[in-house]
Amino acid sequence: MSRKLLIATGSKGKFPEIVKELGALPVEFLSLADLGYPADYEIEEPAMTFEGNAIIKAMTMGKKSGLLTLADDSGLEVDALGGRPGVFSARYTPGEDADRCVKILQELRNVPDGERGAQFRCLVAIYDPETEKVRTCEGIYRGRIIREEHGTNGFGYDPIFYNDELGKTNAEMSMEKKNSVSHRGAALKKAKEILIKEFLN
């Protein structure tokens, strides 16, 4: 019987991305909704680092559910803003994703094109309540912030994050293409190897 793996995120956008990347694993993927948590359920993120928040989320939900649990904490780090919004990416300003994109664009309105570099950082934590084992891995994805939103795919800051190599924003890419280049895709590739070697053998 395959092991259950809880993906500890309340984000409707993240869950399918994570499952798609880890899909070949011999596990049954469960969401928080599968365990009866409401759609707006949020796990507290009190740490000041992505790694700290990912570990807290994985351990909190792993202990509550008794299941092998994977959680991530990700965010946008803009060079010209000294790394902001960072760990506050999801709550940088009240409202929806579009409001947060607008805030970043306003803050960068006087920043020239050559100085609009940015990166997404993703920390994945895996926690097994049976053994108390915790493992983490990281992915980073460089790009730049353009001057207006483009594309309707994805979520978060995807419409303003531009990949020069592909000539499009994250929100103009298919999920498959985005996973192949993104911070979360990079971290999940490492997580997949860790799961196979250390948690599923």
Enumerate the active-site residues.
73
Look up residue 198 and give its DSSP letter.
I
- The structure tokens listed for 57 are 């989320």
At 124 the three-state DSSP class reads: strand
Residue type, 183: H
* Rounded-to-integer distance, Cα 183 and Cα 185, Å: 5
